[in-house]
Structure 1
């Protein structure tokens, strides 16, 4: 019989007490290291240790000189909550829907225990200060000894080894909503090829370098605490950023900058042999944050549980032959998408399962940044070149980039015959990975197949069949019309959903399926399928009944996920959405942040009052939610 999470914590406490009592004051520290995680928010490796000439990061650079720099370290998602789920559990968020969506509340069954639970059971005192954002229903108070802004390794029982996490918000995306002055000035920065060179863009880049310098000081202060306590020789220190950068087309997006992170590990002499390179060395093999949980368990001599999908970063041979790292993007705040990607450090392959949506869909929170507003303003004025304007256009199904020759990823090599064999390897690697981890991304949010056990029931979730159908849909091949029509009456919700998506993405080429789509929007037992069918019917020239159905769903008391999908569909049907304007305006007055944000945005678009600086996102709500206000 498996223990509940509460029972596991009780057992951990008993083990800790017995270890401390029997081993003497310092015995645990002589056997096992303390572990210190220093975590920054939303940043790429804009660090001197990674060769950035503008960066002023002396504390992190010093850590790197005594430690190991992982040159190709990647988060599993380009945003915090799904990334933190993977770090906490050692499982990809897309293995347990709805954890793959930003700000969700997936149910974590007791048998999937988190790394602090395993460490506590092994006698470690575990603290988290203060951010959680785990995207699941674990109670931080139950998995940590302490989880608060006051949590600290100093509070451990005498002689107990500790595992302490300190998070700094200094470089968080929200800090870019106001300029930060410092030694880096706007004229010094390099603007990527996908962005316009405007004063707002330059200001935000300079601000971010200055925020990085401030964050570096905080990382140095935490290391000084350790040194002042005489614990430097007993502690392995990790520094990493929780996901990629906060600047436009980094965080939230499936390009390399959305996933590429800092990772530096420093070990004192007695444990230095565990690291994959000597002090001051570099590791070029790609590594993923899915590896963090197995790594700390290995340091505590805890066997990696079967649930954990990564491997340890320790030992000279552990990374030899490592080739692939994987990433995902599903719902980001109020906007739906589905993207999967695989990289090897040199190349990145991206697969867009919803190419009918542009990359640059308005995200209320992101658009509080002046650089995002400036980018859209330049697009609306027609002042962007092709590389810069592409962000606001529909996607292609596949993308492939050479990160060495094209670090800004503006030259898509997917049709380049010189890379055909290589692209085939990346495709196969991604397909294998998605099957291996049981990728839940094809399940519509709120669907019957969501959940760890349910998604492993192939009657509820025929994954391989869904993968094949979704790829056919995203290729937008008119020759697949009959396939989508046939699958629209399948007994499985996931299959019907992707059949409807296929017809939606075909646009006018799906005209022969209009009658079936009209029946689906009225009678399908799945609200998610109805919504996709309704949008497809609007595109086929019969908006009135479809818009009415979307309006009814939006104005109903159905779950938030259904209503959010409905207002997203309304957002992409243009002037036809006026038929749902009363419900849209009502959504704009709701307390729920995503409904309010999408409602305000769409109402402003339909009223003709929208401009790139329109305040659709309620930042005061976010500050309260994240505990950023006193």
Structure 2
């Protein structure tokens, strides 16, 4: 295709927004602009992002590569050096003659220079500034629906009494209000989209432009953003292809696609629409355009560090079922994240937990996790009935397990590498054998069973030459808790391991299994400012679970509470409040001096 034979592309992106509006069966959400696109275009009913939070999700969007392929990009928030081996869709489209603008969020979790990627990336970027005759790609990302709307948006459009409270949430006034005020934000963002579509028509470009609408991830009530359920990973995806470019779409106007698709497909789709070759590095498949392929029918995602809290979840979703594997089952779902706890819904939820007034489905959030979860979304849209132990679903469970394992190997998932290790990076740039992923995955799979019968396996692996093997051996002993007591000697030796990551995991395991202060002493040493933030954060996370013994590290905690790094600061302040008995769920732990930067959408 050449010149005017190539479509313009307008990409409308909302923040933190699960599917809403009449097109998605939402009777409360008024989104007429999106409903119009759905009537005239194709709507994907089962579209999913790769991570339930913005920065790692946006890494995948700009590169077409899972963030976990390039540690530490899978963590929220990190700065990964951008590898020479990767491309961005915007740069490739610019090389092909497109004028590419971004208005205005970037947040790619890497050191990309936005001015090198885009022709214009700013709050005033617009297709109207393109050179005469140039096709354009214009991205607009208004911030109205960002999570921070829950902190300040009034309830106006929908009353709290009208909203549906999911089964996994307690029916509390604060939670109803959070769900209700989000509808005000939804209407605001749709008004922005209405204006942009009107401008497109005023410019005579309506029949020359493919219009795409999605969100960076789901959200934004409690247990949505940051969590690997549909509330956090399912996103709207609507694409209107004008009649003159109908040959670029495998679907007819008004059609609804039920096959699962992924955000990992969007970068190759944009290139395919412009007839630009999709680089081999991109891990998805084009959904539209000259190179369009049938959808894979599977969407993979994951959760890693969220703010100051470490977790590790991987998941796969097909058209009906979601399978999750929890690589940190010893941690509760509801770890305190200071920014997240700015929402009154989270505060009220924890207060009810502490008061003992929750039922089983709603109190589960504050408990450790099972190793595996399986949900039938057709029967259980709230994902509260775990089928992983149901023999009637054993075959499906095994199939999804195998699919997830194959995916982790295919993308060379960096999530098993502790943050801060020099092994992190884009896989093909490593020396062969430097990251024995298959062996690591097998040890991690053993660890998450939390079976004391595997203790000897972990003790042996704790002497392995490879840091990541030793790290997962220590994690396996940590997950055993008090049952790791027979490994006291091995753990004590590991407290002097050359790897700080191994020392920290062993120190927490030692503190839970052995009566003595040695583990806390090691963790206190790791709080020193001489260590990089990931080491200090890992030590802070470990200290949270050592109860009153963590008070032995109080001097280091006090210093960390004034650290330059916001995550270190929040984690230390939270733990000090707990140790001193001053914490309540509505205690503001998040640093409000840092709030303005975060409010722009960086959280």
Native 8 Å contact 1:64 1:265 kept in 2: yes
> For 1:480, which of 448, 454, 471 is the aligned residue?
454
SS at match of 1:328: strand
* Residues 51 and 453 (structure 1), Cα distance of their counterparts in 2 relative to 1, 3 Å cut: closer
Q: Match of 1:253? A: 227
The alpha-carbon deviation at position 345 of structure 1 amounts to 2.5
> For 1:598, which of 561, 571, 578 is the aligned residue?
571
Q: Match of 1:9? A: none
Alignment of 1:437-516 (within 5 A): 437-453=411-427, 456-516=430-490
Q: Match of 2:244? A: 270
The alpha-carbon deviation at position 428 of structure 1 amounts to 0.6
**In structure 2, what is the Cα distance between the partners aligned to 1:125 and 1:317?**
22
> For 2:258, which of 284, 291, 294 is the aligned residue?
284
SS at match of 2:300: strand
2:334 matched to 1:360?
Answer: yes
Native 8 Å contact 2:46 2:234 kept in 1: yes
2:286 matched to 1:312?
Answer: yes
The alpha-carbon deviation at position 29 of structure 1 amounts to 4.8
Q: Match of 2:560? A: 587
**In structure 2, what is the Cα distance between the partners aligned to 1:315 and 1:34?**
12
Spell out, residue by residue over 1:38-86, the C-alpha distance to the aligned partner (whole angstroms, 9 max, x if none). Answer: 1000011021111111111111111111111000000000000000000
> For 2:213, which of 239, 244, 251 is the aligned residue?
239
2:55 matched to 1:77?
Answer: no
Q: Match of 1:112? A: 86
> For 1:59, which of 29, 33, 56 is the aligned residue?
33
The alpha-carbon deviation at position 453 of structure 1 amounts to 4.5
2:300 matched to 1:326?
Answer: yes
Alignment of 1:53-452 (within 5 A): 53-314=27-288, 318=292, 320=294, 322-452=296-426
Native 8 Å contact 1:28 1:160 kept in 2: no
* Residues 453 and 324 (structure 1), Cα distance of their counterparts in 2 relative to 1, 3 Å cut: closer
The alpha-carbon deviation at position 456 of structure 1 amounts to 4.2
* Residues 39 and 107 (structure 1), Cα distance of their counterparts in 2 relative to 1, 3 Å cut: same
* Residues 439 and 628 (structure 1), Cα distance of their counterparts in 2 relative to 1, 3 Å cut: closer
The alpha-carbon deviation at position 201 of structure 1 amounts to 0.6
**In structure 2, what is the Cα distance between the partners aligned to 1:544 and 1:220?**
62
2:591 matched to 1:618?
Answer: yes
The alpha-carbon deviation at position 589 of structure 1 amounts to 1.7
**In structure 1, what is the Cα distance between the partners aligned to 2:535 and 2:283?**
31
The alpha-carbon deviation at position 622 of structure 1 amounts to 3.4
Native 8 Å contact 1:500 1:532 kept in 2: yes
In terms of mean alpha carbon deviation, does 365-374 or 453-462 score higher?
A: 453-462
> For 1:567, which of 512, 531, 540 is the aligned residue?
540
Q: How many residues align?
A: 602
SS at match of 2:157: coil
The alpha-carbon deviation at position 619 of structure 1 amounts to 3.5
The alpha-carbon deviation at position 510 of structure 1 amounts to 1.4
> For 2:505, which of 507, 513, 532 is the aligned residue?
532
The alpha-carbon deviation at position 318 of structure 1 amounts to 5.0
SS at match of 1:81: helix
**In structure 1, what is the Cα distance between the partners aligned to 2:261 and 2:397?**
20
The alpha-carbon deviation at position 454 of structure 1 amounts to 7.1
Spell out, residue by residue over 1:347-398, the C-alpha distance to the aligned partner (whole angstroms, 9 max, x if none). Answer: 1000000100000000101100000111001000000000000000000000
In terms of mean alpha carbon deviation, does 320-329 or 261-270 score higher?
A: 320-329
TM-score, normalisation: structure 2: 0.97
**In structure 1, what is the Cα distance between the partners aligned to 2:110 and 2:295?**
33
* Residues 458 and 351 (structure 1), Cα distance of their counterparts in 2 relative to 1, 3 Å cut: farther
TM-score, normalisation: structure 1: 0.93
The alpha-carbon deviation at position 167 of structure 1 amounts to 0.3
The alpha-carbon deviation at position 572 of structure 1 amounts to 1.3
The alpha-carbon deviation at position 267 of structure 1 amounts to 1.1
Native 8 Å contact 1:514 1:537 kept in 2: yes
Q: Match of 2:527? A: 554
**In structure 2, what is the Cα distance between the partners aligned to 1:470 and 1:299?**
41
The alpha-carbon deviation at position 181 of structure 1 amounts to 2.5
Native 8 Å contact 2:412 2:427 kept in 1: no
**In structure 2, what is the Cα distance between the partners aligned to 1:321 and 1:288?**
9
**In structure 2, what is the Cα distance between the partners aligned to 1:581 and 1:524?**
24
**In structure 1, what is the Cα distance between the partners aligned to 2:397 and 2:33?**
40
Give the root-mean-square deviation of aligned CA atoms.
Answer: 1.6
Q: Could you tell me which runs of 5 or more consecutive residues in structure 1 were left unpaired when the two chains were aligned.
A: 1-26
Q: Match of 1:45? A: 19
The alpha-carbon deviation at position 156 of structure 1 amounts to 1.0
SS at match of 1:238: strand
Native 8 Å contact 1:85 1:134 kept in 2: yes
Native 8 Å contact 1:328 1:338 kept in 2: yes
SS at match of 2:414: coil
